[in-house]
Amino acid sequence: MAPNTSPQPALSWTIVGQGAIGLLAACRLSLAGNVVSLWLKTPNIINIDFTEQQFSYPPAIAPLNAVLVPVKSYAILDTIKGLLPHLSPDAQLVLSHNGMGTIALVKPLLLPTQGLWFLTTTHGALKQHHNLFHTGQGQSVIAPLNSAAIACSEAVTQVMDIALGPITLTDNIAPYLWQKLAINAVINPLTAIYDCQNGQLSAAEYRSQIAEILVEVCQLATLMGISLVYEDTLAKVQQVIIQTAKNYSSMHQDVKHQRRTEIAAINGFVVEQAARYQLAVPQNAGLLQRVTQLEQAYGR
Ligand code: KPL
| CA 49 to centroid of ligand 1, rounded, Å | 21
Ligand 1 atom with the smallest distance to the CA of 184 is 8
Residue nearest to atom 9 of ligand 1 (CA): 124
| CA 4 to centroid of ligand 1, rounded, Å | 30
127 is catalytic: no
Q: Do domains 13-172 and 175-297 have the same CATH topology?
A: no
> Domain spanning 13-172: which superfamily?
NAD(P)-binding Rossmann-like Domain (3.40.50.720)
Q: What is the pLDDT of residues 270-284, one digit of tens each?
A: 999 999 999 999 999
Ligand 1 atom with the smallest distance to the CA of 138 is 7
3-state secondary structure 246-295: CCCCHHHHHHHCCCCCCHHHCHHHHHHHHHHCCCCCHHHHHHHHHHHHHH
Domain ranges of the chain: 13-172, 175-297
Of 72, 127, 180, 236, the active-site residue reads: 180
pLDDT for res 107: 97
pLDDT for res 300: 84
Pairing of strands 64-69, 13-16: parallel
**Residue ranges of the chain with pLDDT lower than 70?**
8
pLDDT for res 215: 98
* ipTM score of complex: 0.98
pLDDT for res 6: 75
Tell me the CA distances in angstroms from 168 to 83, 100, 158, 160, 176, one per residue in order.
27, 20, 11, 10, 10
User: Cα(218)–Cα(110) distance, rounded to whole angstroms?
Assistant: 33
Residue nearest to atom 7 of ligand 1 (CA): 122
What architecture is domain 175-297?
Answer: Orthogonal Bundle (1.10)
pLDDT for res 10: 81
Handedness of CA 262, 268, 270, 273 (dihedral sign): negative
Residues with CB under 6 A from ligand 1: 98, 122, 124, 136, 183-184, 187-188, 198, 240, 244, 247, 249-250
